[in-house]
Amino acid sequence: MDHASGLTAESQRDGAPLYVDCPDCRAPSANLTQARSVSLDGVPLRRCFRCGHRSTWEETPRRVLACSDCGLPFLAGPLALERCPACAAETRAPEQPDEELVQAAEAEVRAALAARWRFVGSRRVSDYLGRVLRGVASAIDGAPASGHVLLVDEPAWHTLALPSGTVILSVAFLAALEDEAELAFVLGHELAHVAAGDSAAALVRFGLHEVETESSGAVEAAWARAAVDLVRLGFGDLSEYRADATSAAALAAVGYDLESARRLFERLGSRTDAGRVEIADLALAHPPPWHRLRRLAGWAGPPRPAAGILRIDREVFRRAAGPSVLAAELVPQQPFDAPQPAATSPGGARRGRLILALASLAAAAVLLALWGIL
């Protein structure tokens, strides 16, 4: 039984649901498997697809807000403050962390994911995905020029952008896309988070939180949880809307047709309305698809070319990375074979772990001081 159905059954023991409606607009809860986040107390989280607000699924729901300082999600208390506890206590990592700290955090996440996720690929598919990624990156200020795409074999629609420009994409999500323009929009959205510094700030903050609260000393497990939290929680709705706009501008700049992005949102919206389990995490991390679609529809962008010819490249996509190609060519592979951040060399990895350990100790010391223990 999934979290959602289990909680619904429990709430109906007395004959009437106790907390199946949105606490803000009272809309009925969507029929989605609700995701749990270790960073947010491990309670099931849900999103209302009418008003777009996120909250916990419990008898007295708490809202999930994006911090006004760092932009990352947190559970709001009764007063619904706009700043997360870490920012309010001034114990959080800097909004734009030191580059070496970011490299060390990414090295830890890479090692954790390589041990826990099943990565697959083929030379032809990887070359094609990398070419599309770099083409979109060329139109996004601050996006790494040497990024690449890694595929993870799982049925959920997942994406994760690492600060170095590596984008992790689930095979199921790739197989659900219909043309190259859709692929370019998805990759552009992820690169926009990298360029804006969202990925770096979130990775360091989630990672340090998990390492500091890990009682058994299983550091690798802590970093894996941080990556999963990043997938499930996203970066806050304003950052997600901004990433959509950045990706749309990049697509226009390199000649893709934005109608493909609109069709993608329509399909995602239909799956959301139907409560499809494969998009539960994606739906929790991002604003409702219909909200994103309205914003995209209102984005004017540059004028169309005089000839009115924009790229969709449906057949190119089908031949290079369509479902039949993925089924025939993808095989297990060791991820992260591309050039690594400097901290992933043996000496760099040790240095990165030392940096993270010192950062964790410093954060812990500040917390203890605030609690009056030191």
Residue of 319, 339, 326, 323 whose CA lies nearest to 148: 339
What is the phi-psi region of residue 73: left when phi exceeds 0, alpha when psi lies from -120 to 50, beta otherwise? beta
Q: Mind listing the pLDDT tens digit for each residue in 247-259? A: 999 999 999 999 9
User: Which is higher by pLDDT, 295 or 89?
Assistant: 295
Q: Mind listing the pLDDT tens digit for each residue in 30-58? A: 555 567 777 777 788 888 877 878 888 77
94, 101 contact by CB (below 8 A): no
Cα separation, 182 vs 189, in Å, equals 11
pLDDT band at 16 (very low <50, low <70, confident <90, very high): very low
**Which residues lie across from 66 on neighbouring strands?**
73
The answer to whether residue 221 scores a pLDDT higher than 50 is: yes
- The CB density around residue 246, as the number of other CB atoms within 10 Å, is 23
Note the pLDDT of residue 43.
Answer: 80
Residue 47 half-sphere exposure toward CB, CA atoms < 13 A: 25
Note the pLDDT of residue 303.
Answer: 59
331, 119 contact by CB (below 8 A): no
Q: Mind listing the pLDDT tens digit for each residue in 321-346? A: 999 999 999 999 988 754 444 444 44
Amino acid at 374: L
Mean pLDDT value of segment 300-317: 75
Note the pLDDT of residue 173.
Answer: 97
| % of the chain surpassing 90 pLDDT | 42
Tokens of 68: 């006004």
Which pairing describes strands 331-332 and 119-121: parallel, antiparallel, or unpaired? antiparallel
Cα separation, 12 vs 9, in Å, equals 5
Cα separation, 161 vs 149, in Å, equals 9
The answer to whether residue 349 scores a pLDDT higher than 50 is: no
Note the pLDDT of residue 321.
Answer: 97
Question: Cα angle vertex 331, ends 335, 342, to 5°?
Answer: 10
Note the pLDDT of residue 126.
Answer: 96
Q: Which phi and psi angles does 21 have, rounded to 5°?
A: -100, 160
Q: Mind listing the pLDDT tens digit for each residue in 83-139? A: 777 777 765 555 567 889 999 999 999 999 998 899 999 999 999 999 999 999 999
Cα separation, 44 vs 5, in Å, equals 11
